[in-house]
Amino acid sequence: MQKGSEHGKATRIIHNRRHKDSFGSPYSPIYNTTTYRFPDTAALQEVIAGRAPGNLYTRWGSNPSIQELEQGLASLEEAEDALAFASGMAAISAALFAHGRNGIVCVGDLYGGTQELLTKHFEPLGIPVTFLLKHDPQQLAHALNKPGMLVYCESPANPTLSILDIRELAQQAHAKGALLAVDNTFASPVNQRPLNLGADLSLHSASKFLGGHSDITAGAVMASAEQIKPIAQWRKNLGQILAPETAALLSRSLRTLPLRVKQHNENALAVARAMEGHPAIKRVLYPGLPDFPGHNLAKQQMDGFGGVLTIEIKGDREQAVKVADNLQVFLLATSLGGVESLVSQPCATSHHGISQEERERRGITDGMLRLSVGLEDAEDLVADLQQALGKL
């Protein structure tokens, strides 16, 4: 791990080397194996006990392809350690089980799947969960009523793109003996590194920007070695490891991440600016717009504003559906962060499992369309939105 390295993000990830290939390949080959042989029992026991280096069993994360990926993930967030998972929800669930059993306080908007996990599974297991609609220091202090709790948030959040002050949240959590976990999926490590702002855990759905091509499902957690250790136990025992083939694909994708995110940022800002003031649009939610409520804070803690924005159509759910159905360049699909642009209606996809009352309480309206802005020509994306809006 290259914490404190003088090299930049792109250089670090391209020259990530954990395994030295004996045949001279610049990158580690795929170790498509589940187990490893030993010359004798004594050698096996040395590896199991941690007294000697070596691999034992891929389900435990003991695989060169996976380990090289994790070294690259840690480097991106300037973390001591990282774990790769079979999905973003696998990463979230393992981290919450490892560090949230004394109670979890969620701040701001969350992905619908995370809310469903907390309300339908964690609360019935007796794990206290508190949801705060926004960052209120007094409410947060009151909710953190015992040591060892976990504060969990997204910034930017799904789908409102709301921005939270990560540094301030970390200070308040630590003052109460709690940890702070930040879902950094929407920003990516190129635009934001929560650990440098004081957070203890940074989580990703690696299916999104980290993967970048809509062809792998994976997740990641970056943190200190101390915080990673209990999460690794949950991953091992829940069987949440990703396949070596997926790890190799994700490692390959990471090498182009800085270039891809730079273009995502530029395209999304161009689309957001073009949609401002459109007569059919009620509001545009994007941290890069000067009138966005969290714009100044985003400028302070982010290096770029990301590739996702949300537009709210004037009218009802059917009006938003009509726009989505008439788009030709934007593909009607869930997920985000790929090279292709996608459109989805949060009330029908990412937040479908949340009651309409709860969505309205959080300002997630039926007229919202979330746009994952890809790497196409920005002019084509703007023209596509304009023609679809023109059919209302």
Distance CA 217, CA 238 (A): 17
Q: How far apart are CA 124 and CA 112, in angstroms?
A: 18
Burial class (CB in 10 A: 0-12, 13-18, 19+), 46: middle
Neighbours of 54 (CB within 10 A): 14
Residue 205 CB contacts under 8 Å (≥ 6 apart), including other chains = 87, 88, 89, 91, 185, 218, 219
Does residue 183 carry a catalytic annotation?
yes
Active-site residue, selected from the candidate residues 12, 31, 111, 260: 111
Count of beta carbons in the 10 Å neighbourhood of residue 322: 15
Q: What CA–CA distance (Å, rounded) separates 190 from 354?
A: 31
Taking CA atoms, 189 is separated from 307, 338, 352, in Å, by: 13, 15, 28
Are the C-beta atoms of residues 32 and 245 closer than 8 Å to each other? yes
Give me the catalytic one of 193, 208, 362, 370. Answer: 208
Q: Which two tokens stand for residue 37?
A: 């042989």
Active site includes 262? no
Alpha helices in the chain, H assignment, sequence order: 9-14, 41-48, 64-76, 88-99, 112-117, 137-143, 166-175, 188-191, 225-238, 244-254, 257-275, 295-301, 317-326, 356-361, 378-389
Give me the long-range contacts of 332-335 (CB less than 8 A, separation at least 24): 335/207, 335/208, 335/214, 335/372
208 noted as active-site residue: yes
Residue closest to 321 by CA, chosen among 359, 341, 357, 349: 349
Nearest to 90 by CA among 205, 253, 202: 205
Catalytic position from the list 81, 183, 200, 366:
183
> Of 27, 36, 59, 101, which residue is the catalytic one?
59
- Per the annotation, the verdict on 325 as an active-site residue is no
Residues that are catalytic: 59, 111, 183, 208
